[in-house]
Structure 1
Amino acid sequence: MEIQIGDILRYKKPACAKNTYEDDYLNFHFLTKSVYAKNLQLEKGINPSAKIKTSAGELVRPAILISSSPNKKGSAETPWEDFYDVDNGHIRYFGDNKEPGKDPATAAGNKALLEAFRLAHSHSIEERLLTPPILFFKRAAVNGVTKGYPQFHGLGVINSVELVTQWDNKLQRTFTNYAFDFTVLCIAAEHEKFEWDWINNRRIKDFSLTFTNKMSPQSWRKWLDEGSNALNKLRRRVSKLSLEKMVNQKPIPGSESACILNEIYTHYANKRHKFEALAEEVAARVIDRDYGIYQKGWVTQGSGDGGADFIGKVTLGSRFSRVELIVLGQAKCEALNTPTGGNHIARTVARLKRGWLGVYVTTSYFSDSVQREVIEDKYPIILIHGHRVAEEVAKIVYESEEFNSVSSFLVAMDKDYPSRLKQRQAEEILNT
């Protein structure tokens, strides 16, 4: 049976594989049923299927199913939100260790993924053949219900593994865990259809790897032949007019992100000018948090700011082969349920000079018409919506040893605000 990326399935309890569809959605248990193996599940974040002996005598794991629940972000079950960018072939997923003092490599899910990583990056094609396909799901909201509706997000290979420190809200302690970066493989050759029978055939005792792989996507077979160096060219990339739906720009109601965004909006409701410093902090992380190409400048004073709320610069290249771009930032602490007006974006763009980059940060969201205008007219401006603001603030608090809450971080930003104020010409940032 074939499914496509983006298909929403029905996952009912108790499991029943009798009906093809449940509540008008393809039944996950029907899709994955096998008389030869135990039921596949999405009960945990990382769901490795049991190993099976192949016809050649190797013990092979048929598949690993990854399930992300964004509605649980910040809870004891999910201390950090996973990042799914399937249209650009990338997923960042945090492992299943949540216990302070425990070696994260011993957690069952992490252990299975670390083994898959070792196999996937082997120089031996014989070892790569033993790599389990990793299949991605993410809980979707259907009629306001977030449980029981996993959405299929494709097939991937682990690209890299990083040991990270996370924060346990319940115990108020840090713990170590793994962050896994996956490459989501392109299935364009299969017309965006994924043949689930390939997975089910891998779950039959004494199955043949050679035979079953004939049913796998072309990109999987190419990766097996060429190894990890081929991952980038096999990555899924979707060419489209990149409009972000309103629902993705606003946090799920009741989620931690929604609470954080409300706290931010309330905090700055009577001092919206101070939101400018937070907006630059968020913009710096969005533009580039890993390589430091963004350099903070200053927050502009109310009069004579030329329409900018903050000024920074982006540096590309190094030494003689270097170019610096002025970043003109606009910050709006706006009502959470009203889209940013196109006139605000137009005024920001009108102030950009040749070689400048614009950034617009809002607690609200951007309508389709505003996004379409930016894309079609190729405006050099980065749009940062309220959901992303809340995500970045959450990460700042999680990563920091200084702040134990969003409130303490916002108070610290307010104290630092006066020192950030400058009345300068934007071009002066190039001299710093």
Structure 2
Amino acid sequence: MEEVPFSEVARTDLVIDRKYAGGVAGNRGDDPISKILPVGNAGGFRFLGSPTRGTVRALVLYTSMADLEWPDRLDLGAGTFTYYGDNKKPGRELHDTPRKGNLALRDMFRDAGSAERRRRVPPILLFSKAGRGAGVAYRGLLVPGAATVPPEEQLVAIWRSSGDERFQNYRSLFTVLDARLVTRAWLDDIRAGNPMTMNAPRAWSVWVRTGMPDPLLAPRSVEHRTREQQLPSSRSDIELLTTMHRHFAERPTDFEYCAAHLWWMLAPATDELEVTRPSRDGGRDAVGRYKIGPPADQIKIDFALEAKCYGPTTAVGVRDISRLISRLRHRNFGVLVTTSYVHAQAYREVRED
């Protein structure tokens, strides 16, 4: 889709994944979100109304999708969005944040579970950074929770540490509703404080009445990613990958420890992970166990991890993948971590097997 010019964002509809250009003045006034709805022009939580007074008419969640410590994640196949709260430094109580984002999360998830209070949950619009400058993309209309996840796992207060100080923040799970279009007429209704009109998307109205979310499911149309899709595209990410490869190029054994930590960050359900000794690894750089199932009744599955510190022009090929697969035992799975990409033939063979 063509990018909506900055001069028109205040009058246009919101369409899934459409980009909206920012201004060029070089200040906060370049933000297109504040032109779409008057919710302010800074922060991940942007309110139309006050969360402390209970007068929020709309909430915009904005994410750069680039914070490795707090990895917001849009799962297109499942129609869900994982978002982290705004208590990201020690020194404050969980809900005592300047923008009151965690307070809003607590209240929304509480109200979403009650038929009587669900109307209090404001429409939630998701935007992510996209394009040049202050440009954004509209990613969907959200409601708290997901039908496939137990209520106690939809909003979780997790512990983190910075230095020798500990603090809590929220990890929240939303459903992206099957609402491909949010009209300007409904945005005007929201602004006027009356979202329950004929202009409201059907999926949102059904959720308010029944509490049953209808997710926007978008499974991948291709079964393997190209080299360009696997490698980063932004300048900062390319620089990070290049720096990592350069750092470990002459010390591939040290990269195994880095790869193990990266996997643990991406897969927090990992229960055990041990980097093997180079002389006794049996062809496996690390071994571990992964938890699946509900918290009260989990089982653990063994896995083997292989780390490949290759340059961006050297693909992980069929031979590398076959080496990892040959080390797997019954009921094992394999993990590959690389600074490069997987060759198309190897990728296809793994998908087909």
TM-score, normalised to structure 1, is 0.61
8 Å contact from structure 1 (residues 7, 152) kept in 2? yes
Question: 1:62-101 CA deviation, whole Å, 9 max, x = no partner?
Answer: 2100111245x37xxxx63433334422323222345542
1:256-335 matched pairs, under 5 angstroms: 259=240, 261-262=241-242, 264-284=244-264, 286-287=266-267, 289-290=268-269, 292=270, 294-296=271-273, 299=276, 301-302=278-279, 305=282, 307-314=283-290, 326-335=302-311
Counting only pairs closer than 5 Å after superposition, residues 121-270 of structure 1 correspond to structure 2 as 121=113, 123=114, 125-140=115-130, 142=131, 145=132, 147-159=133-145, 160-166=154-160, 174=165, 176-187=167-178, 192-204=180-192, 207=194, 209-210=195-196, 212=197, 214-227=198-211, 230-231=212-213, 234-240=214-220, 241=222, 243-244=224-225, 246=228, 249-250=231-232, 252-254=234-236, 259=240, 261-262=241-242, 264-270=244-250
Distance 1:149 1:343, change over 3 A: farther
Check conservation: 2:155, 2:173, Cα contact below 8 A. no
Relative to structure 1, the CA distance from residue 175 to residue 370 in structure 2 (aligned partners, 3 Å threshold; closer, same or farther) is: same
Q: Residue in 1 aligned with 2:110?
A: 118
| Cα deviation code 1:335-382 (max 9, x no counterpart) | 14544334422443455455432221112233556544433x14xxxx
Instruction: Give the corresponding residue for 2:15.
Output: 4
Report the alpha carbon displacement of residue 239 of structure 1 after superposing the two structures with TM.
Answer: 2.1
| Alpha-carbon distance in structure 1 between the residues aligned to 2:83 and 2:249 | 34
Counterpart in the other structure of 1:88:
78
Q: Secondary structure at the match of 1:118?
A: helix
Amino acid aligned to 1:333: C
CA contact (8 A) 2:256 2:275 kept: no
The CA distance in 2 between the partners of 1:262 and 1:116, in whole Å, is: 42
Secondary structure, counterpart of 1:43 in structure 2: coil
Equivalent AA in structure 2 for residue 158 of structure 1 = P
Paired letter, 2:126: F
Could you tell me which amino acid in structure 2 is paired with residue 66 of structure 1?
Answer: L
| Aligned CA distance change for structure 1 residues 29 and 271 (closer, same or farther; 3 Å) | closer
* Structure 2 residue matching 1:202: 3-state secondary structure: helix
Closer, same or farther: CA 215–174 of 1 in aligned 2, 3 Å: farther
Any unmatched runs of 5+ in structure 1? 16-21, 34-38, 53-57, 379-432
Give the conservation status (yes or no) of the 8 Å contact 1:84–1:92: yes
Higher helix share goes to which structure? 1
Contact 2:85–2:172 (8 Å) recurs in 1: no
**Deviation, structure 1 residue 263:** 5.2
Closer/same/farther in 2, CA of residues 156 and 364 from structure 1, 3 Å limit:
same
Structure 2 Cα separation of the partners of residues 280 and 99 of structure 1: 26
Tell me the CA shift for residue 49 of structure 1. 0.7
Identity of aligned residues (%): 21
Distance 1:253 1:360, change over 3 A: same
Q: How many residues align?
A: 323
Q: Would the aligned equivalents of 1:165 and 1:177 in 2 still touch at CA under 8 Å?
A: yes
Distance 2:255 2:157 in 1: 33
Structure 2: gaps of 5 or more residues: 1-11, 146-153
| Larger Rg, first or second structure (1 or 2) | 1
Shift of 1:277: 3.8
Q: Tell whether the 8 Å contact from 1:100 to 1:173 is kept in structure 2 after alignment.
A: no
Q: Would you say the 8 A contact 1:42–1:65 is kept in 2?
A: no
Structure 2 distance, partners of 1:330, 1:361, is: 6
Amino acid at match of 2:43: K
Distance 1:357 1:250 in 2: 26
Give the secondary structure class of the aligned counterpart of 2:95.
helix
Question: Take 2:229 and 2:341, find their aligned partners in 1: how far apart are those partners?
Answer: 9
Query: Is 2:230–2:341's contact at 8 Å kept on the other side of the alignment?
Result: no
Taking structure 2 as the reference length, what is the TM-score of the superposition? 0.73
